[in-house]
Structure 1
Amino acid sequence: MHERAAADEEPRSGRARRARVDGVRWQRWLPSAPAREVLGWWLVTRVAIFLLSISAPLLFNPGKDYPNVWHAWLQWDVWHLKAVAEFGYTHGEPSGAPLAAFFPGFPFLVRVVSWTGIGYVAAGIVVSAVASAFAGVYLARLAQYEFPELKGIGPNAAMIWYGAPVGVFLAAGYTEALFCAFAFPAWLAARQGRWGRAALFVALASTVRVSGIFLAVALVVEFVTSKKRDWASAPWLLLPAVPVLGFMAYLKHVYGSWFAWQEAQEKGWAREFTWPWTSFVHTVEAATKGHFPAERSDWTWMFRAELVTLFIGLLLLAWLLWRRSWGEATWVAATVGAFCTSFWVYSLTRATLLWWPLWIGLAVLARRHRWIGRLYLAVAIPLAAIWAAGFFTGRWSG
């Protein structure tokens, strides 16, 4: 009898061991607890933005193209990026803007996803959805790496980022989410001293926005000032120049100019070089009531938001310099400088989504001073709803 019991017990113990092994295998494929929390915030905020995309046109643009939900997402730069994805750079300018201003990374992915038959607008939303989820996870990892003493700070940083006043641009068919999906893991790799990995992600970011050039410069500064620099890895820092030079060579072939992207920015968006103090004066004038016709009050409102954002950017830069975060300070300074040397400062509000030190810093402040976190949510949530409603009804929102 004892032998029979032992024989019965052995299969049971074997099954238990196999169950444990299978459980471990499944756990390897499941996201970590912090990543699951980040993805939970991602899902909640995506649902909220989608509800706004349905309700805002019905409430504020009654009868205008409703219930064509996708038309609410087809606003501003989405037109231009869609045109590049659909027609490329060699079929004129069907969106009405000089398309050379837009780097090819995002439109290329939109075109690929559109092969599923969902259309270009929906494809842009899908690309941004996947990219924002990926970027949020890496923002959380970067925040936790920088502040390991603050347990759970990573998901908080991602939540604050998803709930940003301009968070609608992480959901729409814009380039911000995809750029961040490359920039955030790039910086985490740089902080860990994994320079080849960092350079590869920066090179991918450089296919999405011209901001990739600033990020590449910031990476060089981070390398030079880092205690983890490895001079044998220095040649990797040249990698981000490859896609930029490749795109410039393509523009030379199509338009006859290596700098066709900059010329397109000047032609379509008045981004010709202007001294910062002159640009500031122009922006203040644009933010003055009555500068634009009454029917374009959204422009006045947005230029006021640009001035507030400029102040926040300068505060962030001062904080980074105080912390001696030279690479991140270079990144923020280059971004602010680029926007402050145009005819006027605009679209800087959207650029805040690229400033991972801002969202990590806010998460740290919210953890150390809870009232700051409550104040942020009290201000950010209404502003996010206003920005989204403005975007979905065709008003300028950044």
Structure 2
Amino acid sequence: MSVSAPHRPAEIADPRTAGPHVPDDEGRTDRTHRARRAGRAHRTLSRLGPGDREVLWLYLLTRVGIWTTAGVVGWLFRSDGNARRPASPLAPWQQWDWTHYMHIARDGYFPGQAGPWTAGWDNREAFFPGFPLTLRAVHTVVPDWAAAGALISFLAGGVAVLALARIARLRLPDQDAGRRTVFFFLLSPCAVFLAAGYTEALFLALALPAWLAAQRQNWRAASVLACLACSVRVTGLFLVAALVLHFVLTARGRAWRAAPWLCLPALAPALYSWYLQTRTGDWMAWKHAQERGWYRDFHAPWEAWANTWEAAFHHTQPTGYALMWQAELLAMLIGVVLIAVLVRGRRWPEALYIALTLWALGTSYWYTSVPRSTLLWWPLWTALAAWSLRRPRLQSAYLYVVGPLGITVALTFLTGRWAG
């Protein structure tokens, strides 16, 4: 309490005659809470070690590079060759799947009672709701849809590279393992999709921390993060399968009490299927939409390979599409080799994750988006980092050979052509 002047009520202290201020309990408590919050913030920042900061610096440099490329595209590759003004820096990013995500976020899945029964339907229910819901939420703060999508991918990508680097450091003994892994990842041929308003960055920002939590036996965190990842992409279900196998192989004693948590990730796809059933009467409406719009009906693996080979090499498609189907075949082969490497190293959960991914992508009419899916194969990037530790020249070869391929894919996508 303050010291009051004579003949005044104690609660009306005269500042001219009051003694030194003594903080009351409420003020002391408030300052204590602020100090604790500041301490927590400081501890959070201090957890970013030198390796983490180096990884984030590498990430920021590559973001500058990819956005510079997008800006150049706006100047050099205008659809109107006589244009006197460059396109908006965001215009090159509004391609392909982005329009589906934006339409879902803006209008919902079935606007105006439209749906699969409507002529010219865009099959938007093929896309899981996690990214569109996030986009709609961010749009309340960022009015431009494309800017909102770019912001989501930018922030999510930063989380993803930090988690990837920490996974690598757990896996590999070398202190440079995190930086090397992120180097290979950020210069991969399809890295442009980490900056686009697509699902890859957001999925990895959830899936990689989930895997990292599982390595540390934190099954509650792993399950919650995997549940969120399942709301973004169906690939989350393959992650869950890997988590369950990892749990079975590593759980001991009381750790089995956490087993029920591994049922949680099924909630996200179950809720989405229930929602679609209430609107369309079809529990698997998302799968049937993929079949209608992207030829993802089931075919034997050898049939899918043959159909993709024909599109790639038999001159039945325009050259741009044929080249991308050649990339699909190459990515599938890389995936098969990766499974063999993981099996040889007895890394069964990661092998299961890659195998399920390849089965899903390799049993359609033809391969679609296999190269882009390589971004989600974290064992590939840690394997390349491990290999480069034994073969130092590999890193330079990757930079000079694969780097230009990444620029080519980026230009292909940013100019509106099919890529990845």
State the TM-score, normalized to the length of structure 2. 0.85
Match of 1:315 in 2: 337
Match of 2:19 in 1: none
Counterpart of 1:69 (choices 77, 89, 109) is 89
Secondary structure of residue in 1 paired with 2:90: helix
2:376 maps to 1:351? no
Secondary structure of residue in 2 paired with 1:342: coil
Map 1:205-354 to 2 at 5 A. Answer: 205-226=229-250, 230-292=255-317, 296-354=318-376
Tell me if structure 1 keeps the 8 A contact 2:74–2:88.
no
Per-residue deviation at 1:162? 1.2
**What amino acid does structure 2 have at the position aligned with 1:82?**
M
Residues 286, 196 of structure 1: alpha-carbon distance in 2 compared, 3 angstrom cutoff: same
- Once residues 374 and 159 of structure 1 are traced to their aligned partners in structure 2, the CA distance between those partners, rounded to angstroms, is 11
TM-superposition CA deviations, 1:291-341 (whole Å, max 9, x none): 11xxx3221010000111011000100000001111100000000010110
**What amino acid does structure 1 have at the position aligned with 2:140?**
W
Secondary structure of residue in 2 paired with 1:235: helix
Match of 1:79 in 2: 99
- Once residues 372 and 251 of structure 1 are traced to their aligned partners in structure 2, the CA distance between those partners, rounded to angstroms, is 48
- Once residues 82 and 327 of structure 1 are traced to their aligned partners in structure 2, the CA distance between those partners, rounded to angstroms, is 34
2:45 maps to 1:29? yes
Per-residue deviation at 1:25? 7.8
Tell me if structure 1 keeps the 8 A contact 2:207–2:225.
yes
TM-superposition CA deviations, 1:54-81 (whole Å, max 9, x none): 1124334453684222221100100111
2:74 maps to 1:52? no
Match of 1:373 in 2: 395
- Once residues 347 and 322 of structure 1 are traced to their aligned partners in structure 2, the CA distance between those partners, rounded to angstroms, is 27
- Once residues 108 and 152 of structure 1 are traced to their aligned partners in structure 2, the CA distance between those partners, rounded to angstroms, is 37
Counterpart of 2:154 (choices 129, 154, 158) is 129
More relative contact order in 1 or in 2 (CA 8 Å, sep 6+)?
Answer: 1
2:131 maps to 1:106? yes
- Once residues 41 and 198 of structure 2 are traced to their aligned partners in structure 1, the CA distance between those partners, rounded to angstroms, is 37
2:382 maps to 1:360? yes
- Once residues 267 and 40 of structure 2 are traced to their aligned partners in structure 1, the CA distance between those partners, rounded to angstroms, is 41
Gaps of 5+ in 2: 1-37
**What amino acid does structure 2 have at the position aligned with 1:390?**
T
TM-superposition CA deviations, 1:36-64 (whole Å, max 9, x none): 11110111111111011111243344536
Structure with max Cα Rg? 2
Match of 1:40 in 2: 57
TM-superposition CA deviations, 1:239-267 (whole Å, max 9, x none): 00011101100011122111000000001
**What amino acid does structure 1 have at the position aligned with 2:214?**
A
Residues 133, 228 of structure 1: alpha-carbon distance in 2 compared, 3 angstrom cutoff: farther
Per-residue deviation at 1:28? 4.9
TM-superposition CA deviations, 1:164-186 (whole Å, max 9, x none): 11000000000001100111111
Tell me if structure 1 keeps the 8 A contact 2:74–2:91.
no
**What amino acid does structure 2 have at the position aligned with 1:36?**
R
Tell me if structure 1 keeps the 8 A contact 2:59–2:186.
yes
TM-superposition CA deviations, 1:104-141 (whole Å, max 9, x none): 11111111111124311111111010000001000000
Secondary structure of residue in 1 paired with 2:316: coil
Identical aligned residues as a percent:
39
Tell me if structure 2 keeps the 8 A contact 1:192–1:228.
no
- Once residues 214 and 43 of structure 2 are traced to their aligned partners in structure 1, the CA distance between those partners, rounded to angstroms, is 28
- Once residues 221 and 392 of structure 1 are traced to their aligned partners in structure 2, the CA distance between those partners, rounded to angstroms, is 39
**What amino acid does structure 2 have at the position aligned with 1:371?**
R
After superposition, the CA RMSD in angstroms is 2.0
Would you identify which runs of 4 or more consecutive aligned residues in structure 1 move more than 6 Å?
22-25
2:176 maps to 1:160? no
Residues 397, 370 of structure 1: alpha-carbon distance in 2 compared, 3 angstrom cutoff: same
Per-residue deviation at 1:346? 1.4
Tell me if structure 1 keeps the 8 A contact 2:299–2:364.
yes
Secondary structure of residue in 1 paired with 2:158: helix
Tell me if structure 2 keeps the 8 A contact 1:73–1:173.
yes
TM-superposition CA deviations, 1:166-210 (whole Å, max 9, x none): 000000000001100111111111122211111111101001001
- Once residues 280 and 39 of structure 2 are traced to their aligned partners in structure 1, the CA distance between those partners, rounded to angstroms, is 57
- Once residues 251 and 342 of structure 2 are traced to their aligned partners in structure 1, the CA distance between those partners, rounded to angstroms, is 17
Q: How many residues align?
A: 373
Match of 1:16 in 2: none
